[in-house]
Amino acid sequence: MALRLVLAAALAVLAPALAAAGAPALGINYGQVADNLPPPQAAAVLLRALNATRVKLYDADSRVLSAFAGSGADFTVGLPDRLVPRLAADPSAASAWVRANILPHLPATSITAVTVGNEVLTGTDTAMLRSLLPAMEALHAALAACNLTSRVAVTTAHSLAVLSSSFPPSAAAFRRDVLPYMSPLLGFLAKTGAPFLINAYPYFAYKADPGRVDLSYVLFEPNAGVSDAATGLRYDNMLHAQVDAVRAAICRANYGKAVEIRVSETGWPSQGDEDEAGATPENAARYNGNLMRLVAQGKGTPAAPSEPMQVYVFALFNEDQKPGPASERHYGLFKPDGTPAYDVGVKAPTISGWKGNGSRSGGTGLVVAQGPGGADGVGPGTGYYTVSAAANKVKRQRWCVESLLVAAVVALASGLCWS
């Protein structure tokens, strides 16, 4: 009886809050392939300055999830590639992973999705390819046992290389070798209501052929664009074209109307090797600044104009231990000391005094300076793409009420999940 009263009260407050929350939310990828990053408490300050209310991790780092307790940020956490075969072979491993990595953080930290592996379907490991969907199904079943499937989605992120071609968007299709794995995976996403995640980087297209690819087109600049002759739709930036190419491929596989598409990674490097055309601070600022403005305006793609894109910018920090060309280590909006890697209009706070050495270090000694945008760097003039104070208030109200709901659900299910 008490539980029903809590749920009824929470829903009564949640309904108007949800109706009032119309502002788009910026997402940020928080990678940690580095040995010189500040602790999560410092990252929380920088994300607040960005007004980024969605955060994507590549693991389920308990230090990060604990540091963001009560923040109102929605987290997507990652199950590493190495665990995918284990979950596929042993469903009890999925239950153990949920108990160890999800339940301890709810409801204080909002976890809304789990990505199973990363870009698995464009890999060459056939065992991994066969294991992906069974692992996702096992994880979904483990969450269902805890009554959390309405709260936590199970999905996986894909490289744009799953497509056989991406232009014109309306002609795009999944690669024939990928389709046997993709079709049942799309069925799972449609059935569970989970989003399709795509890592889309217009930078790669420009880097590969800077002489033919229009830089203004890939940087969201005005007076640039191309048309799809089959549909008559005009694309004024490459990212929209890439997303609609994915949309066409999904529709061609007969799952288009039931699957939401989210951009799980996109960004632009501020530095690169000599042969990496366009990797400059100026281009990174133009790409990410224009992208964030697009997100704040709530614009959809030409093929789905009424569906605002949900985008996760890559990445929060430069990561000095990422392998590959120099650009891989320079996608961050911030340097490890918390200073902006380039100017995208953010009046970021100053962080100093953090102790520890490495991304897994302790999080003590954080000092937040009074920045130009007010305490914590949040206030008037923090950037044209930031969410308004009113929207943040609604977000906090939404989070508080949703936390009550999740707390009730977790309390109801705890005996079963922990048994």
Tell how strand 173-174 and strand 196-199 pair up. Answer: unpaired
Query: Rounded CA gap, 220 and 215, in Å?
Result: 9
Task: Please work out, in degrees rounded to the nearest 5, the angle formed at the alpha carbon of residue 410 by the alpha carbons of 13 and 65.
Answer: 90
The conformation of residue 295, written as its DSSP 8-state character, comes to H
Nearest to 373, CA basis, from 340, 332, 419, 410: 340
Which one of 119, 276, 319, 402 is the catalytic residue? 119
Listed in sequence order, the residues at least 6 apart from 44 whose beta carbon sits closer than 8 Å to its beta carbon are 67, 68, 71, 73
Is 119 annotated in the active site? yes
Task: Please work out, in degrees rounded to the nearest 5, the angle formed at the alpha carbon of residue 76 by the alpha carbons of 395 and 19.
Answer: 25
Listed in sequence order, the residues at least 6 apart from 139 whose beta carbon sits closer than 8 Å to its beta carbon are 79, 87, 94, 97, 98, 114, 116, 154
Convert 10-39 to b/e letters by CB count within 10 Å (16 or more is b): beeebeebeeeeebbbbbbbbbbbbebbbb
The conformation of residue 309, written as its DSSP 8-state character, comes to P
Q: Are 352 and 369 in contact (CB under 8 A)?
A: yes
Q: Collapsing DSSP states into helix, strand and coil, what is residue 215?
A: helix
E-strand stretches of 211-343: 226-227, 234-235, 261-266, 311-314
The phi, psi pair for 13, rounded to 5°, reads: -80, -35
Query: Rounded CA gap, 140 and 153, in Å?
Result: 8
Which one of 137, 265, 319, 402 is the catalytic residue? 265
Where in the sequence numbering do the catalytic residues fall? Answer: 119, 265
